Amino acid sequence: MPVGRSQHTNEWAEAHGCGTGILKHAPCKDCQAIMKVLLLKDPKEDDCGQDPYIRELGLYGLEATLIPVLSFEFLSLSSFSEKLSHPEGYGGLIFTSPRAVEAVELCLEKDNKTEVWKHSLKEKWNAKSVYVVGSATSSLVNKIGLDTEGESCGNAEKLAEYICSRAASFSEFPSSERPPPPRARPRTACGRRL
């Protein structure tokens, strides 16, 4: 009895300990046909000049067709740039995506604030809490010179809980007895000490 394409692939993945994720080994020679998949994302080139998803899926015998399904436009950059220039008016920053980091970079470039950022603004923002959702966003925020926390929370709900717990522990004390701001205390990762 011939084995169907998806059944064969699933059996191969299970036999090689790959579970339901992307296969870790190239499919066997017995796979009958190349599976075609639609990849719904914007194309991005890696160091090899190819979208990493297309390349990786191709290594496992999948033919991916990339379809960009979203359009994006930054809004309120002027307002954001003004606020970014006055860290004294805010308690911190929360980056929810790589696009938020891109917005900061655009504001700095557009308004010729790159030098001001390097020499004073970055330090002023680093004196405050800088939260991120996820390690990819954290990496990008680190590249613009900011120290982050909360990256291991994994989603907005857990990050919000983490931020609120930090804010609550900071505001429980009268101002004369307050512990140092969160940046100076040991870092925690979503409920656990590092």
Domain end, chosen from 20, 36, 67, is at 67
Query: How far is it, in rounded angstroms, from Cα 172 to Cα 183?
Result: 17
The answer to whether residues 138 and 165 belong to one domain is yes
Whether residue 183 is predicted with pLDDT greater than 60 in this model: the reply is no
The answer to whether residues 40 and 89 belong to one domain is no
pLDDT (tens digit, 9 = 90+) per residue, 36-75?
999 998 888 777 788 889 989 999 999 999 998 888 899 9
The answer to whether residues 103 and 38 belong to one domain is no
The answer to whether residues 34 and 13 belong to one domain is yes
pLDDT (tens digit, 9 = 90+) per residue, 64-121?
999 988 888 999 999 999 999 999 999 999 999 999 999 999 999 988 999 999 999 9
Place of tokens 């701001």: 181
pLDDT at 29: 55
What sections of the chain are H helices per DSSP? 5-15, 52-59, 77-84, 98-110, 114-116, 122-126, 135-143, 156-171
- Residue 51 in any domain: the answer is yes
CB neighbours of residue 54 within 10 Å: 19
Q: Give SS3 for 82.
A: helix
- Residue 161 in any domain: the answer is yes
Residue 23's alpha-carbon distances to 6, 28, 46, 68, 83, in angstroms, are: 13, 11, 20, 24, 46
The answer to whether residues 176 and 87 belong to one domain is yes
Q: Please give the single-letter amino acid code of residue 119.
A: H
The sign of the torsion formed by the CA atoms of 96, 20, 2, 57 equals positive
- Residue 189 in any domain: the answer is no
The answer to whether residues 39 and 57 belong to one domain is yes
- Residue 129: give the domain boundaries: 77-183
What is the total count of domains within the chain?
A: 2
The answer to whether residues 85 and 24 belong to one domain is no
pLDDT at 34: 81
The answer to whether residues 122 and 155 belong to one domain is yes
- Element housing 38 (H / E): strand 35-40
